[in-house]
Structure 1
Amino acid sequence: MRKLPLAAMLAALLLSTAAVAADKKDDKASPDSKPDAMLVQPQTSSSEGSVSVEGHRIDYKAVAGTLVLHGSGDKENEPQVSMFYVAYFKKGAEATRRPVTFIYNGGPGSATVWLHMGAFGPRRVVTSDDSHTPAAPYGLVNNDYSLLDASDVVFIDAPGAGFSRLIADDADKGKRDEQMKDRKKAIYGVDGDGHAFAQFITQFLSRYGRWNSPKYLFGESYGTTRSAVLANILENENSVDLNGVILLSQILNFDTSIDGPEFNPGVDLPYELALPTFAATAFYHHKLPQQPAELEPFLKEVEQYATGDYTQALMAGSRLSDAQKQAVAEKLHQYTGLSVAYLLKANLRVSGGMFEHELQTSDDITTGRLDSRFAGPSIDPLSKGSDYDPQSSAISSAYIAAFNDYVRRDLKFGDGQQYREFADIDHWDFSHKAPGVQGEALQSSTNVMPDLATAMKTNPNLKVYLNGGYYDLATPFFAADYEMHHMPIPASLEGNISYSWYPSGHMVYAHEASLKQLHDNVARFIGQTDNVKH
């Protein structure tokens, strides 16, 4: 398979560079690479609690624990991963009538602390809306928008992240090191990761007697990539029909990514699809030459231009005349706030990192990537692109601190263990064989649209619900919309897909008003698709 330089950049699509570097430093002295009998046996810690969701009390049982995944073929008796999860079960609910939703963040290789403590768990960490959250102590409050009113929820940490660990259990250090290399090669990739999550879910269904429950996947960011692969594996390898797949901040086709498109010349789609998010961001920060009265009508106008005149201009390439180029630059200035001179120098093509650095450069301010409502002092005002993400820096400490305290104090799990924000991944294998492909796949970058399409065609009752934020520069909302409207499915299945957009960023739930909307929308979606007579 031909690999572009872009693939290396995408391997860290949603990772915080500083956080990853810190994790790797900690891991040098980590005892996790040594044989550990605890890893090869499932662990559980049970507790009870209650949450008030929009005024209604729900009593629940919480289970924090691990399930052990094994290899396949001649390695089926070989433990390979100890996978950590926290499950919340509504007390008194009948299992066959009670939906269960499997929830995970992305990364790839991220722990699921974000969705757990920010969106749908029973406790929520309080962070500032669009600015840096002050240091500890952080507020942990009842989550009025926990999804427990609509479904039991299972938060899953990816292999190697959180309290999940790869298992190398040979007593000989040399053999153990080779085992760990084999584990990483088998699991740290699009397909290996998908099969690991599929094995976890089928084990969970057996362990907790949930085979006949309505079942949902909820993935964020790379978690949406995983959901497409996972849905196809569950449907067509494990005979597990899903009721619904819920996608938040979607990326299925990495050729649409605005992160590093300059390394993939000739593919101009990312610039076109990111333009509405650039416009939304400039609108939010009042950087437009003429400020529109309302956001959404303005975005419709920008979307039309992006898929019309702008697309035609970029398709012309070097054949575009100087006069045409000047006219396009002036129009882009009206939509993005970037100067005409800068746009001309950029050849009308501005990457996400360039925009984040340039929008507020006159004030030496860098704009957020995961949530462009955020901003912070530029590390290097002379850089071409952004050197960090102000949004990630603004809230990460609150999430990590709150969860580390909560999991040990309330869930009674994790004493003596390090909770890893991200797995220690040296290389993520982005190669992927789409369903039905014989021999080597010909994709130049990852595209899992065929996987989700196959799951929908083999289960024509499957419903898909796409959610995204207007201020998301990591996975722009218009790119996600584009992907969904180019799914290789028959017209009869297009009605199975629904959409919602929010005035927030990548982590839609970091904006409380959007979190309420997200909860209400997802709860309604589950209620309409769980096949239970209410």
Structure 2
Amino acid sequence: MYFRDMKFPQIANRASRVLLLASALPLLFPAFSVIEAQAAKDSAAAPDKGTDKGADKAADKTADKLPPLPADAHTQQSAVIDGKTLRYTVTVGSLPVRDKEGKISGEVVFTAYTVEGENRPVTFAFNGGPGASSVFLNFGAIGPKHLLVGNEGDSPSDPATLSDNPGSWLDFTDLVFIDPIGTGFSRSTVPEAESKKQFFSTTPDIEYLSRAVYDWLLKNNRMASKKYLVGESYGGFRGPRITHYLQSQLGVAMNGVVLVSPYLNPTLEDNGDLSPIPWMVTLPSITAAHLEREKQLTPEAMNQVISYTRGEYATDLLKGHSDPEATPRVVKRVTEMTGLNPEFVKRSGGRLETGAYLREAFRDQGKIGSVYDSNVTAFDPFPYSPDQKSNDPILESIIAPTTTAMVDFVTRVVGWKVDARYNALSYEVNRLWDGGDDLRKGSVEDLRESVSADPKLLVLIVHGWNDLSCPFMGSVLTVDQMPIMGDLTRVAVKEYPGGHMFYTRPSSRDALRRDVMEMYAKH
């Protein structure tokens, strides 16, 4: 997710929405989301730690008093995948993070699933936020166990029951899920000001997480394994940068990268008053959600949507009032495509702002759609407010079950006994995050350089059609502008029914598995 990414209230308006699950806090919810507003209140109420030496000393003391994390714990499990029983080892443990002087400043907790056998590939998985743990990819998408969560009608108080995941990747690759500092059970052992410098900004985040990958490989004698990386949302922003840093600085080359609903290009939606691109990025996802509600969502239908978006829609938006018929044409076609109220579309000039759309689409039901998947809804507790005041429907419902399931799994099933809070989504990390200009650069440059440097590197970018936090059209337009470096299919974009976490749909999760297996088989 992208707190500003996926798993946070997401952008109330389009400019803010620059997300997400694609950006950094500020990018994800740039608008000034509900989360950021609350963070501002909390910050205003709290003492200024930057000028309070007593607070710094207290933080140092707290860091010194942190009890040590347990030694790595292991357990044996099995799951039925692709009709076969697979036996595997689960390991929960930690890796130290050291500062430039070699002192431990943090501890990264990982959950690894490994199967005995020679020459097994290993895949490292990251979620986003910033502030999201890896539980979403683990129990939602590719781990051997699955938690039913994130779909329309799911309740946060439903039993957090794990079942075998037929969409798991474990039968063809070992899996290592990494929780960045401040998420899951991973933690900083230095004061807040130092944590911000070492962990909660764009470049340091890439550097210490890359080192965590290196250290896990070294610790487990897996340097010779084939290596892959999967990142979701802001984890998709991390993906190309970690790949390039490992490749060019730490001397570890990835064989392939899978970017799930990635936040690749933060500036793609800038300047919507002049450029048609911001509106081109979101119209297909809004249309896909309507087609799904009408049970007409097919690849063929979406091809027509994409063709119109790239062609007549973009052209008419650029014409403006130079062609008196351009805007009426846009309004008529967009109304037909989206099923929205004609007056709503007319007032917007066919330029559909995300926050307004999420309220308008379900207004007659008193509900609001999720920016991660607009067909997942919740009742709007503030229907008469001019702006959305509540958190995102998916974010509101997903934290309880994922936290309950992961804490029970780690402490009871695996036996890694730890007395600490588990952060599935850390609003504190999101609040402290400093993306800056480095975040605004995105990670497309690193993607291009990694692909250029390694003629065998394969990249698969996957999206759900309904996602408005990191819309698929953004990746389509971005990849279309990349030079062809060898085989055109080395960097591929694929879409599936669903939203930001399209893998909550069994058919989409299975399709993702097949496409990834095909990519891995090429090596």
Bin the TM-score by the shorter chain. 0.7 to 0.9
Which of 133, 146, 165 lines up with 2:155 in the alignment? 133
Pair 1:187 & 2:204 matched:
no
Question: Is the CA contact 1:370–1:392 (under 8 Å) kept in the aligned structure 2?
Answer: no
One-letter amino acid of the structure 2 residue matched with residue 85 of structure 1: F
Task: Give the 3 Å change call, closer, same or farther, for CA 66–17 of structure 1 in structure 2.
Answer: farther
Task: Give the counterpart of 2:138 among 95, 106, 116.
Answer: 116
Shift of 1:514: 1.4
Distance 1:20 1:237, change over 3 A: farther
User: So what's the TM-score if we normalise by structure 2?
Assistant: 0.85
Residue 156 of structure 2 contacts residue 399 of structure 2 at CA under 8 Å; is this kept in 1? no
Q: CA deviation at 1:340?
A: 2.9
Distance 2:479 2:283 in 1: 18
Closer/same/farther in 2, CA of residues 368 and 219 from structure 1, 3 Å limit = same
> Residue type of the partner of 2:173?
S
Mapped partners of 2:324, 2:340: distance in 1: 19
Give the residue type in structure 2 aligned to 1:457.
S
In structure 2, distance between residues paired with 1:324 and 1:366: 31
User: Is 1:499 paired with 2:493?
Assistant: yes
The alpha carbon displacement at 1:200 in A equals 0.5
Deviation at 1:39, TM superposition (A): 7.1
CA distance in 2, matches of 1:5, 1:119: 29
* In structure 2, distance between residues paired with 1:112 and 1:127: 15
Counting aligned pairs with the same residue, the percent is 26
Question: Offset of 1:450 from its aligned partner?
Answer: 0.8
Amino acid at match of 1:375: T
Correspondence list, 1:522-533, <5 A:
522-529=516-523
- The answer to which of 322-331 and 41-50 deviates more is 41-50
Provide closer, same or farther for how the CA distance between residues 470 and 386 of structure 1 changes in structure 2, counting only shifts above 3 A.
Answer: farther
- Tell me, yes or no, if the aligned pair for 1:14 and 1:108 is still in contact at 8 Å: no
Residues 224 and 251, structure 1, Cα contact 8 Å, conserved in 2: yes
Among 418, 424, 428, which residue is 2:421 paired with? 418
Alignment of 1:81-92 (within 5 A): 81-90=106-115, 92=116
Write the distance in 2 (CA, Å) between the matches of 1:20 and 1:142: 40
Q: Aligned with 1:492: secondary structure?
A: coil
Q: Residue 430 of structure 1: which of 435, 443, 449 is its match?
A: 435
CA offset digits 1:64-91 (Å, max 9, x no partner) = 11111112xxx2312222111111111x
**Structure 1 segment 77-476 matched on structure 2, within 5 A:** 77-90=102-115, 92-94=116-118, 97-127=119-149, 129-133=151-155, 135-168=157-190, 176=191, 180-257=192-269, 265-286=273-294, 293-317=296-320, 319-384=321-386, 386-387=388-389, 388-423=391-426, 424-425=428-429, 426-431=431-436, 445-476=440-471
Q: Note the C-alpha offset of 1:128.
A: 7.0
User: How far has the Cα of 1:403 moved from its partner?
Assistant: 1.2
CA distance in structure 2 between the partners assigned to 1:281 and 1:325 by the alignment: 23
C-alpha displacement at 1:339, in angstroms? Answer: 2.6
- Distance, in Å, in 2 between the alignment partners of 1:227 and 1:77 is 26
Matched, 1:11 2:24: yes
User: Residue 510 of structure 2 aligns with which residue?
Assistant: 516
**What is the rounded CA distance, in whole Å, between the counterparts of 2:327 and 2:149 in structure 1?**
43
Per-residue Cα deviation, 1:148-189 (whole angstroms, up to 9, x for no partner): 101110001111111111121xxxxxxx4xxx3122133222
Instruction: Please say if residues 367 and 376 of structure 1, whose CA atoms lie closer than 8 Å, have aligned partners that are also in contact.
Output: yes
Number of aligned residues:
488
* Alpha-carbon distance in 2 for matches of 1:429, 1:356: 28
Secondary structure of 1:480 counterpart: helix
Distance 2:373 2:15 in 1: 26
Unpaired runs of 5+ in structure 2? 1-13, 47-57
Q: Could you give the per-residue CA deviations for residues 403-460 of structure 1, whole angstroms, max 9, x where no partner exists?
A: 1211111122253110012332334333355xxxxxxxxx9x3321110110111111
Residue in 2 that maps onto 1:63: 91
1:526 partner SS: helix
What's the C-alpha RMSD, in Å, of the aligned pairs? 3.1
Contact 2:399 2:425 (C-alpha < 8 Å) held by counterparts: no
Q: Is residue 39–residue 167 contact of structure 1 (8 Å, CA) maintained in 2?
A: no
- Structure 1 residue 49 corresponds to structure 2 residue 77: yes
* 1:320 Cα deviation from its structure 2 partner: 4.4
Counterpart CA distance in 2 for 1:265 and 1:43 is 56
1:368-414 CA distance string (max 9 Å, x none) = 22122212212332345544322333433222211121111112225
Aligned-partner residue type, residue 213 of structure 1: S
Unaligned residue ranges in structure 1 (runs of 5+): 169-175, 434-442, 530-534
Task: State the Cα distance separating 1:17 from its structure 2 match.
Answer: 5.2
Give distance in 2, aligned partners of 1:415 and 1:471: 38
Cα distance in 2, alignment partners of residues 477 and 64 from structure 1: 34
Contact 1:20 1:422 in 2 (8 A): no
The residue identity in structure 1 corresponding to 2:282 is: A
Aligned-partner SS, 1:334: helix
Change (3 A) 1:197 1:361: same
Separation of aligned partners in 2, 1:320 and 1:381: 38
Q: State the shift of 1:144 in Å.
A: 2.4
Q: Distance in 1 between matches of 2:474 and 2:449?
A: 21
Cα gap change, 1:486/1:394 in structure 2, threshold over 3 Å: closer, same or farther?
same
Amino acid corresponding to residue 93 of structure 1 in structure 2? G
After superposition, the C-alpha distances for 1:485-515 in whole angstroms (9 at most, x for unaligned) are 222x344253312333211111122111211
- 2:474 aligns to what SS in structure 1? helix
Displacement of 1:21 after TM fit?
6.1
Change (3 A) 1:17 1:523: farther
Q: Distance in 2 between the 1:137 and 1:213 partners?
A: 38
Q: Decide whether aligned partners of structure 1 residues 8 and 479 sit closer, same or farther in structure 2, where only a CA change above 3 A counts.
A: closer
Q: Match for 1:80: what amino acid?
A: S
Pair 246,294 (structure 1): closer, same or farther in 2 beyond 3 Å: closer
- Residue-by-residue CA offset, 1:342-369 (whole Å, 9 max, x unaligned): 2232243222212111112222221222
Residues 373 and 500, structure 2, Cα contact 8 Å, conserved in 1: yes
Q: 1:106 to 1:61 in 2, by over 3 A?
A: same
State the distance in 2 between where 1:185 and 1:7 align: 26
Structure 2 CA distance for partners of 1:50 and 1:365, relative to 1, 3 Å: same
CA distance, structure 1, for counterparts of residue 38 and residue 175 of structure 2:
31
